[in-house]
Amino acid sequence: MIRIEHLNKRFKKLQALNDVTATFEKGHVISLIGPNGSGKTTLIKSILGTVKPNSGKIFVDGEQINGDPSYRRNIGYMPQIGRYPDNMKIGHLFSMMKDIRNENEEKLDTDLIVKFNLISLFDKPMRTLSGGTRQKVSAAFAFYFDPQILILDEPTAGLDPLSSEVLKDKILAEKKKDKLVLITSHVLSDLDELATDVMYMQEGKMEFFKPIETIRKETGEMKLGKAIARMMKSRQLGSLWIDEANKIERR
C-alpha cells in the first residue's frame, strides 16, 4: 500500500533520512522504532506530505505523492502532540472535518468516540482539556473516517492504562479488517501485542525491517525489547537506547 524508494531528507546539518527504501503492505502492523531523532517522525511526515523529501519517491496505493492532497483521504493520522485552537469545541472539530471531507454519515467510525466517552465532552473548549483527553480526541479522530491506512505517532503516550488498552484493542480490530497500521512508540511492551513487523531506524538509516516472528526466531527471545537488544548487540550498534528501554520496562 505504501512504497518508499530511496528517500533522503536533510535538515541543514542533520541527515534525517538516509536512503530509506521499504514497502508496507495492508493487513500489517508495522512498528517504527529507534532512538530519539532517528528519523521516525520525519519518515511519517514525508508520507503525509508535511515534510518534503530532498530526493526519492513515495507511492501510496500505487500513486506517487506529488502535491495532490487527495491521497490523504485514505490516511488517518494521530500526531504526537495534539494541539487545537483554544476556543474550538471538540464537537466542532469533528463537524469541521466532516465538512472538509464530505463523508457519508454511515461511513464514519465513531467507535472510539463512544468508548472514550467523548460525546459528553463535545461542548468543552479545547483549552480546558487535559493532555490525555486531547490525546483521546486525536486518536478518535484518526479512526473517524475509517481510513485504509493508519499512522499513529506515539499513540499510547499520555493515555491512562485503561484507555491505552481500548486503543490497542481498536488497533487490533482494524488490523483484522486488513488495514495498514504504522506505529511509532517507545513502549515496546505495547508493540509486543500489536506489531507484525518491526522497522528499526538509527541516524536516518533503516537498520532492519523484519517480521516480528523472524526476529523472535533469530534471537530466541519472546519479548520484543530483549529481542531487539540482542540484535543490536550482535550487530554492534549503539545499543544504549535499547538497554535503557528494557530497564524501564523491568521496573
Partner 1 sequence: MSRYVLYDIFRSKVIIAYTLFLFIISMSLFRMEENSGKAMLSLLNIVLIVVPLISMVFSTIHYYNSYEFIELMLSQPMSRTRIILSEYAGVAISLIVGYLVGVGIPLLVFSPDATGYAMIGTGCFLTLIFTSIAFWASVKSRDKARGIGFALLLWFYFALIYDGLILLILFTFSDYPLEKLTLLLSALNPIDLGRIFIMLKMDVSALMGYTGALYEDFFGSFRGMIFTMGVMFVWIAVPLFGAVRSFKKKDL
Residues that bind partner 1 (CB under 8 A): 11, 45, 48-52, 67, 69-73, 75, 77, 79, 81-88, 92, 96-97, 99-101, 125, 151
How many residues in total does the chain contain?
A: 251
Q: Which is nearer to partner 1, 26 or 72 (CB)?
A: 72
| Nearest distance from C-beta of residue 10 to partner 1, angstroms | 11
Q: Which is nearer to partner 1, 79 or 158 (CB)?
A: 79
**Cell of residue 220, nine digits:** 530466541
Q: Can you list the positions of beta strands (E) in 25-154? A: 29-33, 55-60, 63-64, 75-78, 149-153
Q: How far is it, in rounded angstroms, from Cα 143 to Cα 12?
A: 35
Q: Could you tell me if 68 and 59 are in contact, meaning their C-beta atoms sit under 8 angstroms apart?
A: no
Q: Which is nearer to partner 1, 141 or 241 (CB)?
A: 141
Q: Could you tell me if 35 and 203 are in contact, meaning their C-beta atoms sit under 8 angstroms apart?
A: no
Q: Which amino acid is at 37?
A: G
| Nearest distance from C-beta of residue 93 to partner 1, angstroms | 8
**Cell of residue 136, nine digits:** 483521546
Q: Which is nearer to partner 1, 84 or 200 (CB)?
A: 84
| Nearest distance from C-beta of residue 134 to partner 1, angstroms | 10
| Nearest distance from C-beta of residue 201 to partner 1, angstroms | 18
| Nearest distance from C-beta of residue 157 to partner 1, angstroms | 15
Burial of 239 (0-12, 13-18, 19+ CB in 10 A): middle
> Between β-strands 2-11 and 75-78, what pairing exists: parallel, antiparallel or unpaired?
unpaired
| Nearest distance from C-beta of residue 69 to partner 1, angstroms | 5
| Nearest distance from C-beta of residue 166 to partner 1, angstroms | 22
Q: Which is nearer to partner 1, 50 or 234 (CB)?
A: 50
Q: Which is nearer to partner 1, 125 or 132 (CB)?
A: 125
Q: Which is nearer to partner 1, 76 or 225 (CB)?
A: 76
Output the 3-class SS for 119-148.
Answer: HHHCCCEHHHCCHHHHHHHHHHHHHHCCCC
Q: How far is it, in rounded angstroms, from Cα 17 to Cα 42?
A: 7
To which residue does cell 517504527 refer? 32
What SS3 state is found at 5?
strand
